[in-house]
Amino acid sequence: MSRNENDNPYQISKNRLETIVDAIFAFAMTLLALGIEVPKVLESRAAMELPSYIQNLLPQFILFVIAFLVLVTFWIEHHRQFHYLRIVDPTILSLNVAILIFIILIPFTTDVAGNYDRVEIAVILFHTNILIIGTLFAAHWRYLSRSSHLCDTEFDPVSQKKRFWFLATIPTVAILGIGISVFSPAYSLLVYVLALIIIVLKRKFSTYHEQKYK
């Protein structure tokens, strides 16, 4: 970064932005666990009633795991995108602020969908939250990869497109989840298991391909 950029009081540094991003991701992940309600039963009746209460919490717990893994995936992808970034400009800053707004909403939409997993609008709220974050991540990459003045790396068109379509996996699956929720809201939430499997397979295939042709 040049001296002029360092002396600019309005210039947000990359490290400063990364710090708040990491903090908000960690906060959102923690809030997910706090959304699982602790059963309140009398100690004298706990042995009899607690098993059924825990069983009723199963949808909330499954959605907690799904939401946590999705957040981890977004956090990893954010780190990978920022690996190339050298300078934070107003557009990058605005995109990150928008991403963080919807990241911090994940615990809320997860709670709503977990408590009312058979209600279509509750589940669609969660899918829409994921869809918006995924779309913002794809837009973030599209802008970043086309802004060579912000990066330390020149991107070839093939790599740009490959990563863009990779990032499109989760929003595409979110749209699929919205469609399935019309018929089965609860089962529509399982589409993110499919998304995570696809992402893992894509990464493994990409790593294998790079090693093979080194």
Q: What is the pLDDT, as a whole number, of residue 209?
A: 45
Give the separation between CA 62 and CA 87, rounded to whole angstroms: 39
- Say whether pLDDT at 103 is over 70: yes
Give the separation between CA 63 and CA 69, rounded to whole angstroms: 10
* Higher local confidence (pLDDT), 201 or 136: 136
**What band does 99 get if pLDDT is binned at 50, 70 and 90?**
very high
Amino acid, single-letter form, for residue 94: S
Q: What is the pLDDT, as a whole number, of residue 4?
A: 47
Q: What is the pLDDT, as a whole number, of residue 49?
A: 67
- Say whether pLDDT at 52 is over 80: no
Count the domains in the chain: 1
- Say whether pLDDT at 187 is over 50: yes
Q: What is the pLDDT, as a whole number, of residue 214?
A: 45
Give the separation between CA 106 and CA 103, rounded to whole angstroms: 5
How many other CB atoms are found less than 10 A from the CB of residue 137?
A: 22
Q: What is the mean pLDDT of residues 128-141?
A: 95
Read off the tokens for 125: 């709220």
- Say whether pLDDT at 46 is over 70: no
| Three-class secondary structure of residue 85 per DSSP | strand
DSSP 115-174: HTTT-HHHHHHHHHHHHHHHHHHHHHHHHHHT-GGGBSSPPPHHHHHHHHHHHTHHHHHH
**What band does 2 get if pLDDT is binned at 50, 70 and 90?**
very low
Q: What is the pLDDT, as a whole number, of residue 196?
A: 84
Question: Whole-number mean pLDDT of the chain?
Answer: 84
Q: Which residues have C-beta within 8 Å of that of residue 23, sequence separation ≥ 6?
A: none
Q: List Cα–Cα distances, 171 to 37, 135, 164, 212, in angstroms.
A: 29, 6, 12, 30
* Higher local confidence (pLDDT), 11 or 95: 95
How many other CB atoms are found less than 10 A from the CB of residue 32?
A: 20
Q: Is 7 exposed, middle or buried (0-12, 13-18, 19+ CB in 10 A)?
A: exposed
**Measuring CA to CA, which residue among 178, 173, 38, 32 is closest to residue 108?**
32
Q: Residue 129: which domain range?
A: 3-212
Q: What is the mean pLDDT of residues 45-74?
A: 83
Give the separation between CA 133 and CA 14, rounded to whole angstroms: 20
**What band does 72 get if pLDDT is binned at 50, 70 and 90?**
very high
The model's pLDDT over 145-163, given as tens digits with 9 standing for 90+, comes to 888 888 877 777 777 888 8
